[in-house]
Amino acid sequence: MDRTMTFSIGDQAERQIRDTLTAVYDALKEKGYNPINQIVGYILSEDPTYITTHNNARNLIRKIDRDTLLQSLVKYYLSN
């Protein structure tokens, strides 16, 4: 029996956000920061200096629109 696979752009975007947040979290942790506090500070202020440049984390997180990031986080939180 052949099954049709479905593809969703939304799934791809969600995966990219998750991968980016994980990379940023890891970079912050490696540098000795509290990753949650730093990410929250960035989200609230959109000040990139909350995020380390280690492992290109600052550039990675700036590629994600802040509203999109917040929507993704709320969606994930409420779906679990």
Indicate yes or no: pTM above 0.75: yes
Specify if 5 maps to a domain.
no
Q: In whole angstroms, give the CA distance from residue 80 to residue 70.
A: 16
Share of the chain above pLDDT 90, in %: 72
Q: Reduce the DSSP state of residue 57 to 3 states and report it.
A: helix
Distance of CA 77 to the CA centre of its chain: 13
Specify if 6 maps to a domain.
no
* Residue range(s) defining the domain that contains residue 26: 14-79
Specify if 7 maps to a domain.
no
pLDDT per residue as tens digits for the range 36-76? 999 999 999 989 999 999 999 999 999 999 999 999 999 88
pLDDT at 50: 97
pLDDT per residue as tens digits for the range 17-47? 999 999 999 999 999 999 999 999 999 998 9
Split into its structural domains, the chain has a count of 1
